[in-house]
Amino acid sequence: MTIKTDHRLLYLQVIDRLKKDIESGVYQEGERLPSEFELSKLLGISRATLREALRILEDENVVVRRHGVGTFVRTRAVFSSGIEELFSLTDMIKRGDKTPGTIFLSSETREVMDEDIQRFDLTPSEKLVVVERVRTADGQPVIYCHDQIPAKLMPVNYKSKEEESLFNILENESNSRVLYAVAHIEPLGYHDRISEVLECPPESSLLVLKQMHYDQNDDPVLYSVNYFRADKFDFHVVRRRV
């Protein structure tokens, strides 16, 4: 059935039609839409009109287009958080009414490098603990974590506490309560290893959040590089005019 009985601009009609099809379940979250040729034929429109409609739908975060793969219905984020709010990953998952879990990948205590000395204000003789984990929500992997903490702040038996929030470990073991963080967020389309570890579908990209966390004494205590599945997490920020 075509949509040319409507008198509005054609690409606007296409946008409304595709939104209605998505809302009614004709196209499910994460599903790939028919090819441009098939969809334009189905709707009785030109491919140029369809491309304009898909471009706007992508800008509105309704669909995701992957070059050489296709156009997919965007999966609605399960977890939504203001970037100005600081929660542990455990609390963030709990706030999404999911049960947090941890897949412990690796850990090591190593010598500090020049960038570590500058980042944490350490001496060359100090050590750094590096931990790799995958955080899960109801058993599904959603965040890949690469964390660095000065060894002097970590308990000797920290490996036995792999299920715990690093925020809690720091507070309970070294009296370092994380109060704020300086964050940088970057989009990443695909990562050869991490996308596979997080079981990302082809249409899903990653959000990389790099954060230096500071305690109540303004000391840097935790540097994290976290890779979030963009189909599961939505970060936003409230901006006020000053």
Dihedral (CA of 29, 203, 131, 88) sign? negative
Closest of 101, 180, 114, 98 to residue 145, by C-alpha: 101
How far apart CA 102 and CA 121 sit, in angstroms, is 30
Closest of 100, 111, 156 to residue 133, by C-alpha: 100
DSSP H helices in the chain: 10-23, 36-43, 47-59, 89-95, 114-120, 166-174, 194-197
> Which residue is listed with tokens 């990302």?
200
pLDDT of residue 234: 79
Beta-bridged to residue 82, according to DSSP, are: 236
pLDDT of residue 1: 46
How far apart CA 225 and CA 181 sit, in angstroms, is 12
> Which residue is listed with tokens 């189905």?
42
**pLDDT one digit per residue (tens) for the chain, 242 residues:** 455 555 458 889 999 999 999 888 899 887 889 999 999 999 999 999 999 999 999 888 788 888 778 898 887 766 667 677 788 888 888 888 899 999 989 989 999 999 999 999 999 999 999 999 999 999 999 999 999 999 999 987 776 666 678 898 999 889 999 999 999 999 888 898 999 999 988 767 899 999 999 999 999 999 999 999 988 887 777 767 76
CATH code for 79-236?
A: 3.40.1410.10
How far apart CA 48 and CA 97 sit, in angstroms, is 43
CATH code for 10-73?
A: 1.10.10.10
User: What are phi and psi for residue 113, nearest 5 degrees?
Assistant: -105, 175
54-57 contacts at long range (C-beta below 8 A, 24 or more positions apart): 56/11, 56/15, 57/15, 57/18, 57/19
C-alpha dihedral, 187 to 192 to 196 to 199, nearest 10°: 30
- Provide the residue ranges of all domains of the chain, joining segments of one domain with +: 10-73, 79-236
